[in-house]
Amino acid sequence: MSEPQPVRVRIAPSPTGDPHVGTAYMALLNLIFARQRGGQFVLRIEDTDRVRFVASSERMIFEALRWLGLDWDEGPDKGGPYGPYRQSERTPLYAEAVTSLLERGQAYRCFCTSEQLDAMRREQIAAKLPPHYNRTCRRLDPAAAAARAAAGEAFTVRLAVPEQGATTFRDQLRGAITFDHANVDDQVLLKSDGFPTYHLANVVDDHHMRISDVIRAEEWISSTPKHVLLYQAFGWEAPRFWHMPLLRNPDKSKISKRKNPVSLIFYRQTGYLPAAMVNFLGLLGGGMPVADAQAGDTAATEKFTLADMMARFQFEQIRLGGPVFDLKKLRWLNGLYLRALTPEGFLQAVREGMFSADYLAQITPLVQERIETLGQFLDLADFFFLDQVLPPPEVFLPKKRDLAATLAQAAELLTILESAAWEHAALEAALRQLAERTQWSAKEVFMLLRALITGKTASPPLLESCLVLGRARCSDRLRRFLAHPHGAK
């Protein structure tokens, strides 16, 4: 009899921005799964999307997961027997995989330009058809297509999805799931920049890294038939799939930064304890037996450690309804943890969490120019330490503007804070562009941002202050300002 395959699981975050609470949730579940089964937990960086790539993101992911104590066994920083663990360092493997699919007629080169694909998409939408690739290039003679590619014409490679039939796979929580091939697009596997798409790289790596169980968010279910078809095309055995319920905003929509802080950095910077965050994530979606609820003491039953989870978490008990990422609950839980600290532990948490030497060293240069007595330090710098800054209209409303226009401008500012490159020149350029586009003076735009970030009309240098506060906290200030019922009855 052959040995059962050892359990190997992974998370595969894409370094496209701040580390996301969803990544921590998946890391927690994968880690528990591995530890309960004596398996290995792998961290793989899926950095093949060069357009959305953010250089600092990988380091932030490592730091955030370490802060939470969700450590991995193999990864880009640790190495391991199946490395490298960064997809950008594995491109030869994908090229080899694509060649083998092309040779076997399981994939084909596509020369359609993005203009042609856009036009196709528009026509399909107009005809009320779901957008899909119409397979023009699938009919090309493979040798002729190879010659065009060799002559330097740009191409992508697509999966030749069988035109008839359906693909069925088993989801460990949901049972059999079937997708009719009529609804599965000829997925691009290799982009024209030579980089693989998520689908190809993910399957090739899960195979080569000997992943036994893919535990990921529900949003990937619709990709799974493509993955299963790829495993079949390669002649590889597919891993088991476990799709976890998607975290939701209180209004049940998919969790998003527009409605909730989703950056782990935000939670770290604003004084959440890692143990409370891990506990909170462990409560989402079930899995932890919270047995003694009848006793009425929810605090006693809902409070548990990572070690408790390793001992008692049951994957079979996960509920499929999307768990709400309820900030009120997280704050309540965090409060339990803070109040349970010893006085010394609490002092240390305040010192390290709120007044670390590193943080103070970033702030003092910004106020030194303006100070006359040390007693004024917090008068100048209070906003670096406040949880919420909600200025009244006399502070935030520019003289010539009404409330509606100002709120609309604040929403534009939030978009900039969320998406601009996080450095001085890029932020400044984006703000000036916004002023021009909306016909506000640059001064008005900067004043509004100053009011929303600092709560005041005069402050230390604004953009420098934003950079010290960080993207997550600045965005949160604007989000809370926008959610506030300004004067509404």
Q: Which is nearer to ligand GLU, 135 or 210 (CB)?
A: 210
Q: Which is nearer to ligand GLU, 200 or 276 (CB)?
A: 200
Q: By the criterion CB under 6 A, which residues form the site for ligand GLU?
A: 12-14, 46, 198, 202, 216, 220
Q: Which is nearer to ligand GLU, 216 or 450 (CB)?
A: 216
Query: What is the nearest approach in angstroms of ligand GLU to the Cβ of residue 391?
Result: 37
Query: What is the nearest approach in angstroms of ligand GLU to the Cβ of residue 13?
Result: 5
SS3 for the chain is CCCCCCCEEEECCCCCCCCEHHHHHHHHHHHHHHHHCCCEEEECECCCCCCCCCCCHHHHHHHHHHHCCCCCCEECCCECCCCCCEHHHCHHHHHHHHHHHHHCCCEEEECCCHHHHHHHHHHHHHCCCCCCCCCHHHHCCHHHHHHHHHCCCCCEEEECCCCCCEEEEEECCCEEEEEEHHHCCCCEEECCCCCECHHHHHHHHHHHCCCCEEEEEHHHHHHHHHHHHHHHHHCCCCCEEEEECCCECCCCCECCCCCCCCEHHHHHHCCCCHHHHHHHHHHCCECCCCHHHHHCCHHHHHCCCHHHHHHHCCHHHECCCCCECCHHHHHHHHHHHHHCCCHHHHHHHHHHHHCCHHHHHHHHHHHHCCCCCHHHHHHHHHHHCCCCCCCCHHHHCCCCCCHHHHHHHHHHHHHHHHHCCCCHHHHHHHHHHHHHHHCCCHHHHHHHHHHHHHCCCCCCCHHHHHHHHCHHHHHHHHHHHHHCCCCCC
Query: What is the nearest approach in angstroms of ligand GLU to the Cβ of residue 297?
Result: 37
Query: What is the nearest approach in angstroms of ligand GLU to the Cβ of residue 11?
Result: 7
Query: What is the nearest approach in angstroms of ligand GLU to the Cβ of residue 265?
Result: 17
Query: What is the nearest approach in angstroms of ligand GLU to the Cβ of residue 14?
Result: 4
Which residue is catalytic, options 226, 257, 456, 489? 257
Q: Which is nearer to ligand GLU, 223 or 270 (CB)?
A: 223
Q: Which is nearer to ligand GLU, 63 or 218 (CB)?
A: 218
Q: Which is nearer to ligand GLU, 239 or 460 (CB)?
A: 239
Say whether 257 is catalytic.
yes
User: Cβ-closest residue to ligand GLU?
Assistant: 216
Residues serving a catalytic function are 257
